[in-house]
């Protein structure tokens, strides 16, 4: 009776290791950008909660709060800073929008890019 071998060949293992390794490496490269986005989104949400009940909110007050929260969160302002946040009034709300693209080198001249578009609305009176 002949025994049958089962399992992976060496080449099968190498191909699987390259594919899994590529995904892990991409995750490692994208993690800092994602964490920076989470800190920016958190700052916008904090500004929204700070001024939701406040009367007489204006763009300068919102920008000052954003600068404070960006500093507290330790956001890398060389890539995207509080001055890049778009603040505009539409009707009876202030729209605070963080919209940017961020990219990081993956391999050689191949880049990974994320596009961020976070908007919060702050009621004004």
State residue 58's pLDDT score. 86
Helices (H), the chain: 10-51, 59-73
pLDDT tens digit at each of 125 positions of the chain? 677 877 788 999 999 999 999 999 999 999 999 999 999 999 999 999 888 776 678 889 999 999 999 999 988 788 888 889 999 999 889 999 999 999 999 999 999 999 999 999 998 76
Question: Which structural domain range is residue 25 located in?
Answer: 10-123
Residue 84 lies in a domain: yes
Task: Judge whether 111 lies within some domain.
Answer: yes
In-domain check, residue 2: no
Taking the C-alpha atoms of residue 35 and residue 39, their distance in angstroms, rounded to an integer, is 6
Give me the number of domains the chain comprises: 1
Give the pLDDT score at 54. Answer: 67
In a domain, 1, yes or no: no
pTM above 0.85, yes or no: no
Q: Is residue 5 part of a domain?
A: no
Q: Are 125 and 55 in contact (CB under 8 A)?
A: yes
Residue 20 maps to a domain: yes
85 domain residue, yes or no: yes
Which DSSP category does 82 fall into? G
From edge to edge, which strands make up the β-sheet containing 93-107? 86-90, 93-107, 110-123
Determine, yes or no, domain membership for 77.
Answer: yes
């Amino acid at each position: 009776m002949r025994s049958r071998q089962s399992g992976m060949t060496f080449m099968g293992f190498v191909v699987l290791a390259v594919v899994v390794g590529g995904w892990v490496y991409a995750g490692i490269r994208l993690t800092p950008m994602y964490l920076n986005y989470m800190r920016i989104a958190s700052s916008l949400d904090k500004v929204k909660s700070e001024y939701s009940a406040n009367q007489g909110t204006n763009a300068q007050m919102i920008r000052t709060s954003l600068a404070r929260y960006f500093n507290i969160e330790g956001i890398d302002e060389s890539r995207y800073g509080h001055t890049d946040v778009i603040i505009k009034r539409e009707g009876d709300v202030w729209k605070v929008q963080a919209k940017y693209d961020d990219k990081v080198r993956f391999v050689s001249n191949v880049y990974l890019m994320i596009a961020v578009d976070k908007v919060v609305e702050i009621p004004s009176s």
